[in-house]
């Protein structure tokens, strides 16, 4: 049985990893330690997860436990240090997305992986959600021939979308903005469907709703003078998880979970448009907004042998949805086929549970190439990072070449 430790004790760490590792996966996983910069949050997680030992120093945890695998689920801008130090300590790494937030840190991770021969896996759970997986299966079967163009529109609602602007995600230096933090999921799915690599990126970004554009604002919702009139007011004390894990832990690190959406620190975009040209000349047109009245996505895929239309709207950020999703295929002769995909109400459309199976069970068959290695993690985060550069420089930017740093392990699939 492999020995695991965890870095990060926030909501993703708790629900995706710590709880399952200490319960239904405990016969496969020896979960031996947790480290978070906030000791209160780490202690709370430990209490809920079989009193796993809490460490106040990451390197001491590595030295004491000597884990086989380090799971990294801390804030995005800290991933690279934990990934690199873990690889250099002889561990494999399972990291949350995005693998990191910019080109330089990405290069350092790939270099460390190459030098150590250890392995980084990136947890792209959407690859495991049945709707996305069925599309990949159909594409592999040639359902619409060669794929020439994808149009993906993703819209976050005013609860889920706004939530990114309350926290560290709202600062470009901490998350890479939503084009890295959020869109890394979407770019990964497109890269996987395209079965090609990005070549050039041109993007635009704007901040229209959140950020320093309102006079009626405060430091945080809890103490705000405008709580009765602000449409985005969130009562942190009414949410037991946020109250205990964040509000009652904030004296340790100053992490304010209900920070004002109109804070002047906010420097990420809430309205984004990206075009990508792939090496095989296929094209992507992508957009993301973070203030839609409804949450979901629509995609259209056009190929040499037809058109595929997909759409999904969610009732919450965990992508809970109806039981069945539809794939509509129209062929050049006008015939239409509707394919029903049975989906799941579980986390991220059932993707989280299937991903854990692939991570922890070992030797799981992977005919669709759903497991993602560091080069796959790099390709998706670098579309976002390159889009950020394109916005800043006002021009199309060539996709960075990582081949010199990459170990090219060959796991997973584009
Ligand atoms: N795959 C998915 O669907 C999905 C969903 C949510 C979050 N995530 C990812 O999971 C990670 C955690 O997200 P979250 O929503 O739990 O955020 P969070 O803010 O709730 O938790 C982040 C944790 O990192 C800790 N932290 C901050 N700096 C640290 C440092 N230097 N060293 C160690 N710990 C540090 C914080 O104290 C906090 O406990 C992020 O990378 C995020 O992108 C993935």
**Pocket of ligand 1 contains residue 13 by CB under 6 Å:** yes
Distance (Å) from CA 156 to ligand 1 centroid: 19
Q: Whose CA is nearest to atom 26 of ligand 1?
A: 74
**Pocket of ligand 1 contains residue 26 by CB under 6 Å:** no
Distance (Å) from CA 278 to ligand 1 centroid: 31
Tally: H helices and E strands in the chain = 15, 16
Distance (Å) from CA 77 to ligand 1 centroid: 10
Q: What pLDDT does 351 receive? A: 84
Judge whether 83 and 68 are in contact, CB under 8 Å: no
CA 257 to ligand 1: nearest atom: 19
Helix segments in 18-177, DSSP class H: 19-22, 39-48, 58-65, 79-88, 103-116, 130-140, 160-163, 172-175
Short-list 327, 273, 276, 281, CA closest to 148: 281
pLDDT, one tens digit for every residue, the chain (414 residues): 999 999 999 999 999 999 999 999 999 999 999 999 999 999 999 999 999 999 999 999 999 999 999 999 999 999 999 999 999 999 999 999 999 999 999 999 999 999 999 999 999 999 999 999 999 999 999 999 999 999 999 999 999 999 999 999 999 999 999 999 999 999 999 999 999 999 999 999 999 999 999 999 999 999 999 999 999 999 999 999 999 999 999 999 999 999 999 999 999 999 999 999 999 999 999 999 999 999 999 999 999 999 999 999 876 666 665 668 899 999 999 999 999 998 766 667 678 888 999 999 987 889 999 999 999 999 999 999 999 999 999 999 999 999 888 865 444 555
Among 5, 12, 177, the mutation site with the greatest number of ligand 1 atoms within 8 A of its Cβ is: 12
Residue for token digits 């380090």? 70
Judge whether 382 and 274 are in contact, CB under 8 Å: no
Q: Whose CA is nearest to atom 43 of ligand 1?
A: 97
Q: What is the DSSP string of 201-266?
A: EEEEEE--SSSS--SS--SBGGG-TTTTT-TT---GGGSHHHHHHTGGGHHHH---TTB-TT-TT-
Q: What share of the chain is helix, strand, coil (3-state, %, to 5)?
A: 35, 25, 40
Q: What pLDDT does 319 receive? A: 62
Q: What pLDDT does 119 receive? A: 97
pTM of the model: 0.95
**Pocket of ligand 1 contains residue 78 by CB under 6 Å:** yes
CA distance 118 to 407: 10
């Amino acid at each position: 049985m492999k020995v695991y430790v965890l870095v990060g004790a926030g909501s993703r760490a708790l629900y995706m990893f710590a709880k399952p590792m200490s319960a239904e996966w405990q016969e496969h996983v020896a979960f031996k330690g947790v480290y978070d910069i906030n000791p209160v949050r780490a202690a709370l997680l430990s209490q809920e997860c079989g009193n796993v030992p809490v460490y106040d120093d990451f390197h001491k945890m590595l030295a004491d436990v000597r884990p086989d695998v380090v799971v990294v689920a801390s804030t995005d801008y800290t991933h690279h240090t934990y990934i690199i130090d873990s690889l250099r300590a002889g561990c494999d790494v399972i990291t949350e997305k995005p693998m990191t937030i910019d080109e330089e840190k990405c290069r350092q991770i790939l270099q460390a992986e190459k030098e150590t021969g250890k392995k980084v896996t990136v947890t792209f759970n959407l690859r495991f959600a049945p709707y996305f997986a069925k599309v990949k299966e159909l594409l592999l079967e040639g359902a619409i021939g060669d794929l020439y163009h994808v149009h993906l529109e993703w819209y976050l609602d005013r609860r889920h979308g706004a939530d990114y602007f309350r926290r560290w995600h709202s600062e470009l230096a901490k998350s890479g903005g939503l084009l890295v933090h959020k869109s890394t999921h979407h770019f990964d799915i497109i890269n996987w469907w395209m079965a090609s690599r990005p070549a050039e990126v041109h993007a635009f970004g704007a901040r229209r709703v959140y950020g320093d554009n309102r006079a009626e604002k405060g430091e945080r919702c809890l103490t705000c003078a405008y709580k009765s009139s602000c449409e985005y007011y969130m009562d942190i004390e009414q949410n037991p998880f946020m109250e205990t894990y964040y509000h009652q832990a904030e004296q340790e690190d100053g992490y304010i979970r209900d920070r004002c959406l109109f804070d002047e620190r906010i420097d990420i975009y809430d309205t984004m448009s990206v075009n990508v040209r792939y090496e095989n000349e296929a094209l992507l047109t992508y957009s993301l907004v973070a203030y839609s009245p409804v949450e979901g996505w629509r995609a259209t895929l056009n190929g040499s042998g037809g058109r595929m239309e997909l759409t999904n709207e969610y009732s919450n950020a965990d992508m809970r949805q109806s039981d069945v999703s539809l794939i509509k295929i129209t062929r050049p002769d006008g015939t239409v086929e509707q394919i029903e995909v049975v989906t799941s109400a579980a986390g991220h459309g059932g993707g989280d549970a299937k991903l854990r199976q692939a991570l922890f069970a070992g030797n799981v068959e992977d005919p669709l190439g759903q497991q993602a290695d560091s080069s796959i993690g790099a390709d998706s985060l670098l579309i976002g990072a390159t889009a950020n550069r394109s916005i800043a420089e006002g021009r199309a930017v060539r996709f960075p070449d990582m081949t010199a740093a990459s170990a090219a392990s060959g796991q997973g699939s584009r």
